[in-house]
Amino acid sequence: MLSVWRLNKRGQFDVARKTIYWMIIGAVITMIVLAFAIILGGYRGKLTNVPGEIRAEYISLRFMNNANCFAWQDKAGIVHTGVIDLHKFTDEQMNSYCYLTETEKGYEEFNFGLMLESGNKTIRTNNYFHKDDFTLFKEVLVRDENGNVKKDRLIIYVQEKI
């Protein structure tokens, strides 16, 4: 009888050892699966990342193609893309109708400073702080108050984040 009792004790210790072993193996397998998922997520993020230059390029297209921004709109209502109306080329037009960032957190978004090369007139968004990350150049036509159209270059200074 004494030997049976000892086998039961050994069996109980063996069961406890196997339980601890499987708990440790389960935790290790869980960490491996989580690490693999995190690595795959980071890889997918790198594959689908769009560079800031491309995003800024698409946002800046509104400046010369949208009548709410600076594109010239004739009396018939036709918007002439690529033609900037010099009368609309103001800070007020930019910040009221064209591109306005939030007052408190707008510095985390794209902000722009625009300058017509020949006129040396500069306008900027409300959170533009002259910290240029890169510059875009656009060939445009400029229509002045007299109706004259001349060729010019729009320089767009881009500030990504501060």
Dump the DSSP string for 74-126.
-TTS-EEEEEEETTT-SHHHIIIII----TTTGGGS-EEEEEETTTTEEEE-T
**63 and 101 both lie in a single domain:** yes
**Predicted pLDDT of residue 49:** 87
Give 93-137 pLDDT, tens digit per residue: 998 889 888 888 777 889 999 999 887 788 988 888 888 899 999
Helix (H) / strand (E) element for 141: namely strand 134-143
**30 and 75 both lie in a single domain:** no
**65 and 124 both lie in a single domain:** yes
**Start-to-end C-alpha separation, the chain:** 81
**3 and 39 both lie in a single domain:** yes
Strand partners, 84: 71, 142
Percent of the chain whose pLDDT exceeds 90: 51
**91 and 39 both lie in a single domain:** no
Q: Work out the number of other CB atoms within 10 angstroms of the CB of residue 142.
A: 22
**35 and 3 both lie in a single domain:** yes
**101 and 23 both lie in a single domain:** no
**125 and 62 both lie in a single domain:** yes
- Which amino acid is present at 119? G
Percent of the chain whose pLDDT exceeds 70: 92
**71 and 41 both lie in a single domain:** no
Helix, strand, or coil (residue 158): strand
**86 and 138 both lie in a single domain:** yes
Q: Are 116 and 143 in contact (CB under 8 A)?
A: no
**72 and 116 both lie in a single domain:** yes
Range of the domain at 97: 52-159
Count of domains in the chain?
2
Give 40-75 pLDDT, tens digit per residue: 999 998 888 888 899 999 999 999 999 999 999 999
**29 and 72 both lie in a single domain:** no
Taking the C-alpha atoms of residue 20 and residue 64, their distance in angstroms, rounded to an integer, is 69
